[in-house]
Amino acid sequence: MKIRHTIYALLMAGALGTSCADLDITPADQVSEGTFWKTKSDATQAVMGVYKSLKTGRAGMFLNVREELSSDLAIARGTAEVACTEGKTASTGMFGRFWRANYEKIQQANIAIRGIDKMGEGILAEDYLKFRAEVQFVRALAYLDLALKFGGVPIYDETTDITQEYNDLLKSRSSLEEVYALVHKDLDAGIQNLPYAWDNANYGRATKGSAYALKGKAFLFEKNYGKALENFSKLESDENFDYELFADYEELFKPKNNKNKEYIFAIQNKGGEGIDEGLPLAKYMGQRSTFGGGWVHVTPSQGLVEMYDKVVDGKAVAWTFESEFPGFENDDKQVRKDVFKASLASNKIDLTLPKRIDELKALYATLDERCNATVWLPYTTHSGWYGPDVAPKDMTLIITGDGKPHEKNGYVRDNSKNYSYVFRKFVPEGNENGLISSREHSPNAYPLLRLADVYLMMAECYNEQGDQAKAKEYIDRVRARANMPGIEESSKTEVFNRIMRERAVELVLEGHRYNDLIRWKKAEMLDGKVEKKILGNPYYTRVFDPARDYLWPIPEGEIRVNPKLGEEQNPNW
């Protein structure tokens, strides 16, 4: 059957997405339930295909980066992928794409589980339960993502034979509690059957630690703080685990450090000549001086920059551009221009710096070092790329407002002339010593779970349980890595506000902020927020209706296929 071939081709297509193994892939026209599931090699290919679903097609992990656009940390070139803007309806494409992306992962996982069960211990021996648990881990990731956005959703597990029932996937929504129950069941299988670690050739596959961390996260989202801590704490109390914070925040996200002890589960990407196993991070987050030329579709907000504390006399101090440069937010924009606007001579090389450049650089010198590691700040210089030279080239981000900066002259260029901050985190610099040969395939690993995230979730749990001292301990572990002083907050509310801020600056671009604001019921802070370019011109105004927007709508396209979903649409959609 053609449908059967298509589904199995989805499952097998491509090489491993989270490991270093290279696999021979069965041609799509030779793959069927009758010819597959015969050997351990078949099962291995199937598991690798499920991992691959985390970064290919509509299910690509670029969706995690896009979620940041709906928070207060990042700005989009347009609003098509921003949930919190005017005009969104159940027919808006981003909701349907997100729904389909996760159900594609789920259906690929279900196919793999059915095949693995068919083979059983008779063929797979001790690998049977291990392979099955790997696939269940990916399925848990997908269902948890759906639950956070939509609430209860239809549950399809391995009892559904998609090769026979492709046109009958018409279930009603399950309750949110039932979805979480399946997530926990899948992760319990991982805790029971996955290894503590894999050998070097299989680095990146799900482990027992991955399952503990995700299960703790699920309990946190359910506000079961005791159970969350029980699972998170295993990563410290079980001596078989060997996790630790990487020493340098900026270097953590470089391709040369894709393998490290902080990542609990990450999408392992590779690039280089003839190797196309990465994510399109350079394309969407880079600018014209990024390898291959980026589109600058995702840029940092001014609000993100202002979240990074100043350090004054050994103490962390909150600040804003308005507090540092009074009149910065005035409508005439003159103070902004004095702080940021430079001018280029007619040769487009000679530069006249802004009037207040010394004050700006003095401010930069006081900021949390994670700011410079994450954001390419105006008038700082980093490695870029200028194609005709076929070599890395130092580039400086300048703000002129006239379209003159160009990478051939050593300046960062945004071809849309938006004059925004740009990201450094996850964006390749230079050619990464030959590790990148295409802007479509950035070689940087992309973490879904890492130890700093777990520490901050543990801090949240302790704070909710009334143990502010323990919460502060875990927050300070994360801050110490960035050479930041310990926090001074002491009350439950103060510590919670610090956790909100710390998760923003530590985990930006990793797909957490929007989900955090939603689960904390803090997302109405987005409503009415005007996002601006560096010189003050507006991008767009965010909109958030707390009576509607804490859940996304069941996509209209899914309701047309399955009318039962329309009977239970989320409120006010």
Strands 538-541 and 530-532: antiparallel
Report DSSP letters for 443-490, one per residue.
---EEEEEHHHHHHHHHHHHHHTT-HHHHHHHHHHHHHHTTPPPP---
Whole-number Cα distances in Å, 438 to 19, 394, 435, 503 = 20, 20, 10, 31
CA pair distance 369, 250, nearest whole angstrom: 9
Strands 381-386 and 446-450: unpaired
Residue 147, H or E segment? helix 128-150
CA pair distance 108, 8, nearest whole angstrom: 8
> How remote is the C-alpha of 255 from its chain's centroid?
16
Identity of the amino acid at 496: F
Helix ranges (DSSP H) in 24-92: 40-52, 62-68
The residues near 554 (Cβ < 8 Å, ≥ 6 apart) are: 90, 99, 150, 173, 565, 566, 568, 569, 570, 573
pLDDT reported for residue 275 = 67
CA pair distance 196, 198, nearest whole angstrom: 7
**∠ at Cα 485 (479, 488), nearest 5°?**
100
pLDDT reported for residue 67 = 86
pLDDT reported for residue 401 = 87
368 burial via Cβ count (<10 Å: 0-12, 13-18, 19+): buried
Q: How is residue 435 annotated by DSSP? A: T
CA pair distance 383, 237, nearest whole angstrom: 41
SS3 353: coil
- In the chain (573 residues long), the average pLDDT of successive 10-residue segments reads 42 41 34 75 94 69 78 86 89 93 94 94 92 98 97 95 71 97 98 97 96 98 98 97 98 95 92 72 89 89 98 96 97 96 95 98 98 98 82 91 90 83 94 84 92 98 98 98 97 98 97 97 97 94 96 96 93 96
Both tokens assigned to 132 = 């099955």
pLDDT reported for residue 64 = 79
Both tokens assigned to 136 = 């269940």
CA pair distance 316, 485, nearest whole angstrom: 7
pLDDT reported for residue 419 = 83
Q: Do 68 and 144 meet the contact criterion of CB atoms below 8 Å apart?
A: no
* Exposure b/e, 554-570, CB count within 10 A at least 16 = b: bbbbbbeebeebeeeeb
CA pair distance 508, 375, nearest whole angstrom: 10
Q: How is residue 446 annotated by DSSP? A: E
Both tokens assigned to 109 = 């996982």
- Taking the alpha carbons at both ends of the chain, their separation in whole angstroms is 38
Task: Write out pLDDT tens, residues 126-180.
Answer: 899 999 999 999 999 999 999 999 999 999 999 987 766 656 788 999 999 999 9
